[in-house]
Amino acid sequence: MQIRAFEIKDEDGVDALLKAAFPGPEEARLVIALRAADADTLELVADDHGRIVGTVMFSPVTTRVEDGDDLFGVGLGPVAVMPEHQSRGIGTALIEAGIDYLATLGVPWCVLLGDPDYYQRFDFKPAASWNWSWAGDPDGACAPAFQVRPLITGSAPSGKVATVHYHPAFLGV
């Protein structure tokens, strides 16, 4: 198996994978919308002898700080592995490869909405620990699942209250 950058020839394989890994079509539609908007900051695939068995996408996010400043980072998701290939470390390898690469580019931090028990292994912490919230969750119901990780040492903000906005492609899904 090889972790590599997404190529146009992988579109059908990624689409089939997302539809197999998730109960509904939303993630597949999101990936298509992000690509169409040129908002797929980084997309990686796990290629098993020509078959796409895993994928991860990172897209741009904006954090609006209470003082009016905007901070820019990335959001992780979706990440998926074919059901018959799960629990083999493929998802972990995809996430780690993406995070490592984005850090070399100087991306300061990454956010995600996901299971805290799963993502803590990648050093994600509740975004609330940074005084950050997600604009799509105004009542805070998803706060435990909304998480952040600095990719560069010292990139954590100074505790100012901020709201994170995903790319507008997320709104159409």
Q: Please state, as a whole number, how many other Cβ atoms lie within 10 Å of the Cβ of residue 45.
A: 23
Largest CA distance in the chain: 50
Does residue 158 surpass a pLDDT of 80? Answer: no
CATH code at 113?
3.40.630.30
Band the pLDDT of 157: cuts 50, 70, 90. Answer: confident
Q: Are 108 and 152 in contact (CB under 8 A)?
A: yes
CA 139 vs. chain centroid, Å, equals 22
The total of structural domains in the chain comes to: 1
Q: Rounded to two decimals, what is the model's pTM?
A: 0.93
Q: What is the band of 69 on the pLDDT scale with cuts at 50, 70, 90?
A: confident
Domain membership flag for residue 15 = yes
Whether 172 is covered by a domain: the verdict is: no
Residue 133 domain-assigned (yes or no):
yes
The range of the structural domain enclosing residue 143 comes to 2-167
Q: Does the pLDDT at position 159 exceed 80?
A: no
Q: At a CB cut-off of 8 Å and minimum separation 6, what does 153 contact?
A: none
Give pLDDT tens digits for 73-107: 999 999 999 999 999 999 999 999 999 999 999 99
State residue 160's pLDDT score: 83
Instruction: Identify the weakest region by mean pLDDT among 28-42, 126-140, 148-162.
Output: 148-162
Task: Give the tens place of pLDDT for each residue, 101-132.
Answer: 999 999 999 999 999 999 999 999 999 999 99
Residue 146: how many other CB atoms lie within 10 Å: 23
